[in-house]
Amino acid sequence: MDTIRDVGSEKLPAESSGAMSDDLRQRGIDFVQRLLATGEVDLERFHSALDELFQARTEADVASVVRSLPAPVVLTAPSRRRLQPYEIETSMNGVRLEGRWQVGSVTSIESDMGSVTVDMTEAEFDDLDVDLVVKTRMGAVTIIVPRGFDVRLVGRNGAVNVALDPPVPGFPVVRLSATSDMGAVRVVHPKEKKDKSKRRRGWPRRRSARLP
């Protein structure tokens, strides 16, 4: 039987540190440019954010600038945030969380032999820093996170595969503790959607005529 319920736990603080590099700064600049393109910030805030990023000396400085801007994810209204962490359990059945679902500041996933997919692409978050505890015996757990997320493997035992792009300082932090016996845990980005409106360049393919 599959169950999804709340359980008690404690949330640990996230930290952002590290020396500055051109790549780190550029990730912050790219984010500010996307906000301007989508109309989430005006030109005045755009230029002030750029000035702050160019003055940044550490990764924590960049993260502070990014966190002062509109969040890259939907945040849950304070009145609806979970008072208790979120727990998902499955034995042999498959569970898929996708679309607009609520990610608790602490979320626990336990799978026996079932398949679990946790898609955070369109989810809303109770906090920008979340703790994710994953345990599987013989099951497969797939965690899909948007690009730019900072997934930190704070605990690992067994087969855990994390294949992600470099994070954007100040983006949501997922502290992952994963345990796998004979199963597997993987963390990936969502697949890029192909634009069907774009046609291939060049001559159109000639269709062979059918003979009567």
Domain boundaries, the chain: 3-10+75-188, 22-72
81 φ/ψ angles, rounded to the nearest 5 degrees: -70, 145
d(CA 30, CA 185): 30
Q: Which of 107, 120, 117 has its CA nearest to residue 72?
A: 120
The reported pLDDT for the residue numbered 89 is 84
Q: Are 75 and 125 in contact (CB under 8 A)?
A: yes
Q: Between these two residues, 181 and 35, which has the higher pLDDT value?
A: 35
Retrieve residue 139's tokens.
């099951």
Q: Are 143 and 132 in contact (CB under 8 A)?
A: yes
From the CB of residue 181, how many other CB atoms can be counted at a distance below 10 Å? 13
What's the whole-number mean pLDDT along residues 3-25? 55
**Could you tell me the pTM of the whole model?**
0.77
